[in-house]
Structure 1
Amino acid sequence: MTSTQPAPALWRNRPYLLLMSGKTTQLVGEGMGAFAAPLVAYSLTHSVVLAGLIAAVGEGGSLLATLPAGVIADRVDRRRLLIAASVFGTLLWASTGALAIAGRLTGWQLAIALFGVSVVTAVFNATETGAIRAVTRPEQLASAMAAIQGRSAVAQLMSGPIGGLLYAVARAAPFAAAAVGHAAVVACTWLVRAPLNGELSEARRGHPITQLAEGIRFFTAVPVLRTSLWLVMLINLTVNGALVAVNLELVQTHTAPLLIGLLDTVAGGVMLLGAVAAPALMKRYPAGRLAIVGLGAIAAGFLGMAVAHSYGGYVGFMAVACVLIPVVNSGIGGYITAIVPDALQGRVGSVNSLGYLAVAPIAPVVASIALAGLGIAGTLWCFAIGLAAGVVAMTLVPEIRRIGKPDSWGDDAIEWPRA
């Protein structure tokens, strides 16, 4: 938003509410599909290693698509792109559900469908951040990002238990819910009338390869962006690896799907509390210091899970590990969104996401192999120690420590193409 008029409160901002409502519905539905996917994969293959391999193939779509998605997001009308991606996601989930109903779904068909869904996710993620920034002010980004974390927590809170119930009714039911969630994005985004882009004529004149290189050069020229990349890679590998290992352990020990879903419910519940508290915490404390404290809590939680490797221990220490995740993500993500020019939002976001996505296909494979060779206790110890080492290293990075409160983020905005 560039007007000099006072910005409307987020809860009265219609374009923002429409974007958030559609994506929240999509996250809930897709969370049910994602919850069911490893259970379906295991039922089809009867192997935790093959189930992990299917998950890895699925994650690979985002890894391959994320950099092209960033270029596309900076060249194409964001509203149309969000709608197109969601239509494709609807068709993918619906066709997977139809194959499951017909009893014709195979492990590789599931892997291909998940691959396509992850491509859709890459396009959507590269586009949505710029769209949210277009309808909010810089000083509102902390609250907007906290709300985004809150919607993820709500989705996690709901999708686990509901996904478990739907899976108990029929294996295809969670996939149908995911299709409905993507269709909701189409409807909500269609109603958005506010512009979600600046002027695109200059962006469309450039060659895509040149523009991609330009985005990478910008990213590498900004110290805080470079620093955050390795940090995201380490956190994603350790956190996702530990979560995959716990879920696979519960699956192969024949834990009831409803109880597996309860673990996600606990994580979603405490993350919702963290998202509610995030705006107040970020107004009081610098975001960089909060990120260090939050990552320390995650490391402590996973160390506790490694010691108390039982279902009750997983539930209790999962709460410790997840409560400050929204604060970490809101602070770092909001700051990066605030300082990056609108014309580079897609490309910078995609390069930043590459750190997350580069290890996403690796985490399930590493987790499944470690689980088969070391058992759940040894696997959790390895991931917990790796994450703790990363937190210690983070405290030594000045670019992270210097991130201030949200009202100062606008002062750090970077002019383009000067940077």
Structure 2
Amino acid sequence: MKKILGLFQNQTYRNLFLANVLSQLGSIIGMTAFTLYLLDRFSSQPAYATITEMMYSLPTLFVFFLVGVFADKLDRQRIAYSCDLICAALSLALLLAISTGWMPLVFFFLFLRSAVQKFFFPAEHSMVQGILKSEDYATAAGLNQMVNSLFMLFGSGIGVVLYWTIGLYGAIIIDATTFIISAFLIRKLSIKESVRLPNGKHSLKDINYPFIYESFKEGLVYILKHKLLLTLIFGFFLFGIVNGGFSVMTLFILKYKIAPDSYEELSAILGIIFGAGALMGGFLASVWSQKMKLYKMAILGLLLSGAFTFASAFATSFWVLASLFFCVGFVLPLVNVGIGGWMPSIVDPKMMGRVQGWISPLTMLAQSMMLGFIAFSFPAYISIEVLYWIVGTSLMIVGVFYGVKLPKYANTKATIPQSAAEANATV
């Protein structure tokens, strides 16, 4: 707790952290309300809810070659606050699209807003890496996990309550407002130029095809040379399958198996239970991160969360499902803190954007593939139980893979080159 309080004494980190929280909160509220709206209006067409989630993941495949280059070559602070402002405007445009009732236009604005958001997080994460000391990375990862847990605890529930009380339009207006406040906070930050522009000054005019190609290739060479990063990124691909499944299968198991008449209320309760488990697990992971090797935490969390997810397929009552979800939420922070606390210490700050630029598309590709599979196959060809088995098995596969590979690279930190040029020179 003292370390967390110490982080918040850093005003720049505190305001950037708050801006990130607001940006995420707006997205959760808007997406939750819109998903409930679709399930209400198109109850017999669950594919619409799945397509909505695809509009969040698919844009990565169209902008992945730009986001990392932008974060490493342009002003990271300007990228972050511009993304928030544009997302606020697109949220208002989404309201107009919904009022027309024409779903292709609605999905287009969802797609466009999500594409813009993809530029925010590499820029924000890269700034955090420059603002904090290396010994604070694990603490910051633990803090992020606890905040994510609070989102799980209250985010979806807030979205549900707002949808019930002020409707879809009101929820999306709040969504836009949080983006505006986040942009304001980021705009007012005082961040050193070396953090905002670690590779020197560039302008949009410099971002032409040869420049993008060379910068993106540097990121690929950097990853391929360092087996630890390559190993972690393979795991992130399977995480995409997990994310794709989790994004819809909780609502689906409630609506189509356990509680078809009260799935909205129970989904909020389940979110609270899952978030409570994640919050408690986040505290545990933060403590363990100071005493246990981070990769061992990640492996343990993957194996346990996979087993609990697999078992959730057999739940026949809400409270059995809720108990298993609590267990999943409790152990997942071990994964997030383990990997999140390790990554910044093994990646050169000048390359962080481009490394993130490779991780995100692979994760989102797998997530989009999973959502596409669900939209095509559920419920016509597979049952809800099969979805849980796929996700649980994926988690356990990553856990076993990391258990075999990561111990070999436990001390890789000391041998990683400190620049892309050095990485290229050793290929």
Structures share a fold, TM > 0.5? yes
Amino acid at match of 1:197: R
1:20-39: CA deviation from partner (whole Å, max 9, x where unpaired): 11111222221111212322
Q: Distance in 1 between matches of 2:40 and 2:104?
A: 13
- Are 1:168 and 2:164 an aligned pair? yes
Moved more, 133-142 or 32-41: 32-41
Moved more, 172-181 or 74-83: 172-181
Identify the residue that residue 19 of structure 1 maps to in structure 2.
Answer: 16
Identify the residue that residue 262 of structure 1 maps to in structure 2.
Answer: 269
Moved more, 189-198 or 9-18: 189-198
Shift of 1:309: 4.1
Give unmatched runs, 5+ long, in structure 2: none
- Are 1:237 and 2:241 an aligned pair? yes
Q: Distance in 1 between matches of 2:65 and 2:325?
A: 32
Shift of 1:123: 0.3
2:198 and 2:349 in contact (8 A); partners too: no
Assess, with a 3 A threshold, how the Cα gap between structure 1 residues 236 and 156 changes in structure 2: closer, same or farther.
Answer: same
1:368-416: CA deviation from partner (whole Å, max 9, x where unpaired): 444302222233223323433332233211x356437xxx96x455311
Amino acid at match of 1:240: G
Task: Give the fraction of aligned pairs with identical amino acids, expressed as a percent.
Answer: 18
Assess, with a 3 A threshold, how the Cα gap between structure 1 residues 31 and 237 changes in structure 2: closer, same or farther.
Answer: same
1:29-67: CA deviation from partner (whole Å, max 9, x where unpaired): 211112123222334444012331332234211232122
Shift of 1:220: 1.3
Q: Distance in 2 between matches of 1:401 and 1:321?
A: 28
Amino acid at match of 2:400: V
Assess, with a 3 A threshold, how the Cα gap between structure 1 residues 400 and 203 changes in structure 2: closer, same or farther.
Answer: farther
1:54 and 1:108 in contact (8 A); partners too: no
Q: Distance in 1 between matches of 2:261 and 2:346?
A: 48
Identify the residue that residue 380 of structure 1 maps to in structure 2.
Answer: 388
Moved more, 216-225 or 367-376: 367-376
Assess, with a 3 A threshold, how the Cα gap between structure 1 residues 251 and 97 changes in structure 2: closer, same or farther.
Answer: farther
Shift of 1:128: 1.1
Shift of 1:226: 0.8
Moved more, 346-355 or 43-52: 43-52
2:228 and 2:409 in contact (8 A); partners too: no
1:28 and 1:158 in contact (8 A); partners too: no
Moved more, 236-245 or 83-92: 236-245
Shift of 1:241: 0.9
- Are 1:106 and 2:108 an aligned pair? no
- Are 1:314 and 2:318 an aligned pair? no
Moved more, 67-76 or 387-396: 387-396
Identify the residue that residue 246 of structure 1 maps to in structure 2.
Answer: 250
Amino acid at match of 2:383: G
Amino acid at match of 2:222: F
> Over aligned residue pairs, what C-alpha RMSD do you find?
2.4
Aligned with 1:193: secondary structure?
coil
Shift of 1:197: 2.2
2:180 aligns with one of 172, 180, 183: 183
1:280 aligns with one of 283, 287, 312: 287
Q: Distance in 2 between matches of 1:63 and 1:251?
A: 31
1:395 and 1:401 in contact (8 A); partners too: no
Superposition pairs of residues 218-233 of structure 1, within 5 angstroms:
218-233=222-237
Shift of 1:277: 2.5
Q: Distance in 2 between matches of 1:283 and 1:382?
A: 33
Superposition pairs of residues 180-219 of structure 1, within 5 angstroms:
180-195=177-192, 196-201=195-200, 207-219=211-223
Identify the residue that residue 68 of structure 2 maps to in structure 1.
Answer: 70
1:360 aligns with one of 346, 361, 367: 367
Shift of 1:365: 2.6
Moved more, 310-319 or 192-201: 192-201
Shift of 1:75: 1.2
- Are 1:148 and 2:156 an aligned pair? no
Assess, with a 3 A threshold, how the Cα gap between structure 1 residues 176 and 76 changes in structure 2: closer, same or farther.
Answer: same
1:403 aligns with one of 410, 421, 424: 410
Identify the residue that residue 41 of structure 1 maps to in structure 2.
Answer: 38
Moved over 6 A (4+): 202-206
Assess, with a 3 A threshold, how the Cα gap between structure 1 residues 346 and 188 changes in structure 2: closer, same or farther.
Answer: same
Aligned with 2:355: secondary structure?
helix
Q: Number of aligned pairs?
A: 406
Moved more, 72-81 or 47-56: 47-56
- Are 1:331 and 2:338 an aligned pair? yes
Q: Distance in 1 between matches of 2:191 and 2:152?
A: 29
Aligned with 2:168: secondary structure?
coil
Q: Distance in 1 between matches of 2:94 and 2:52?
A: 14
Q: Distance in 2 between matches of 1:343 and 1:279?
A: 27
Q: Distance in 2 between matches of 1:352 and 1:135?
A: 22
- Are 1:391 and 2:418 an aligned pair? no
Shift of 1:348: 0.8
Shift of 1:106: 3.1
Q: Distance in 1 between matches of 2:407 and 2:63?
A: 28
- Are 1:418 and 2:415 an aligned pair? no
Give unmatched runs, 5+ long, in structure 1: 1-7
TM-score normalised by the chain length of structure 1: 0.89
Moved more, 154-163 or 48-57: 48-57
- Are 1:115 and 2:111 an aligned pair? yes
